[in-house]
A and B are shown apart, each in its own frame.
Chain A
Amino acid sequence: MARAIVNLPASAKRGEIIEIKALAAHEMETGFRRTQYGALVPRDIITSFVCTYNGVEIFSADFHPAIAANPYLAFSTIATESGTIACKWTGDNGYSLTESVAISVA
């Protein structure tokens, strides 16, 4: 279930502050839990998140094992030009997910 929901206004005025909400489907297995037979469940988490606005990085975050499953981030930026806002999650076991949303700025 590699899915994500990225929410931001479809259009904005130049110079306006917009909120970006990013939700990714991920188990975020901590690596500290054990099965009922005592075997360690290997760690499987998202390790980093990067958001770019027309290729320029505007927000990034490092994720750690204590972050809940299906992590949700909300942050803001200034609408400068029309284009694409792309969110990219990367993690253990080659996990990579990119979700892009278009924005038109007048």
Chain B
Amino acid sequence: MNARLVNSGPAVSCFAVLLLAALAFPACAADTVPAERRSGYAFMGRETRAIQDDDAANPGMLWVLEGEALWNRKTGPAGRACSDCHGDARASMKGVAARYPAFDKTRAQPVNLEQRINLCRTEQQQAKPLTYESKDLLALTAYVGRQSRGLPIEVADDARTRPFLEAGREAFNRRQGQLDLSCADCHDKRWGKRLAGNPIPQAHPTGYPIYRLEWQGVGSLQRRLRNCLTGIRAQTLDYGAPELVELELFLMSRARGMSFETPAVRP
């Protein structure tokens, strides 16, 4: 949809003009409008969707199973398991992952799910924090994320999170790297088109951690964001960097109301 089509107004019926104007709007808007939002799932082939739809075929479920075992395993000098405080994750963790990154009062900044698990480990279990992209951390986030499947994303947009959310929005729209591209250049303005044969999705983080076929394994949202930064030849940020958490927060707020899919499968 582009402006040229709308400008040819007099030649077409009034209804068509209105329709075209409505369709053309998202291209001008800063964010993709809600009615047009589509999960990355919608851009996948039939075969890949079938892998995600069947828990017996979805390899992400292997991490979920591992996460369930870790959830119930005592660890650290405190000798406590996640389940000792939180009980059955199927009840206590329902909808939790769909609310992260969430504001942490003591740190006065938003923390993502990986950081929250590590805060719990260091403070409650007195155990060592797990490293980013380690099997254990991916398994735990996949297990916690799985409990929110089918629920709407609802990160907080309040006075405390707004400055971080706005910083994330600014990063999303900022051109960077040797290719001088912003996230918005691809995911707001050119979604649905192709990049080297692959469809460009709208970048809604609905199913993290995801099983990515290209990775042959499960990876976090920050791994995906770092991939994108490398792709535009920008300087990558370290795992857990506040800038990445802000971007996560903005992406989740941009996907507010969309259904959670963890563990999703992506090509």
Complex contacts, A72 vs chain B, CB 8 Å:
57, 59
Contact A3 B62, beta carbon cutoff 8 Å: yes
A-B pairs under 8 A by CB, number: 40
Q: How many residues of A contact B (CB 8 A)?
A: 15
* Most chain A CB inside 10 Å of its own CB: which residue of B54, B56, B66, B216: B56
Q: How many residues of B contact A (CB 8 A)?
A: 14
Complex contacts, A1 vs chain B, CB 8 Å:
62, 66, 135, 139
Residue B165 lies at the interface, judged by CB distance under 8 Å to chain A: no
Contact A5 B65, beta carbon cutoff 8 Å: yes
Complex contacts, B135 vs chain A, CB 8 Å:
1
Contact A69 B216, beta carbon cutoff 8 Å: yes
Instruction: Using known A-B contacts A1-B135, A69-B217, determine if residue A23 contacts B66 with beta carbons closer than 8 Å.
Output: no
Contact A68 B62, beta carbon cutoff 8 Å: no
Contact A3 B59, beta carbon cutoff 8 Å: no
Residue A84 lies at the interface, judged by CB distance under 8 Å to chain B: no
Contact A23 B217, beta carbon cutoff 8 Å: no
Residue B61 lies at the interface, judged by CB distance under 8 Å to chain A: yes
Bound form: Cα–Cα A21–B54 in Å: 10
Instruction: Using known A-B contacts A1-B62, A23-B62, determine if residue A7 contacts B216 with beta carbons closer than 8 Å.
Output: no
Quick one: which of B23-73 are within 8 Å of A by CB?
A: 54-57, 59, 61-62, 65-66
> Residue-by-residue, is A2-34 near B (CB-CB < 8 Å gives 1, otherwise 0)?
011101000000000000010101011000000
Given contacts A23-B61, A68-B216, 8 further A-B contacts (CB under 8 A): A1-B135, A5-B56, A7-B55, A21-B57, A27-B216, A69-B216, A72-B57, A74-B57
B contact residues vs A (CB 8 Å cutoff)? 54-57, 59, 61-62, 65-66, 135, 139, 213, 216-217
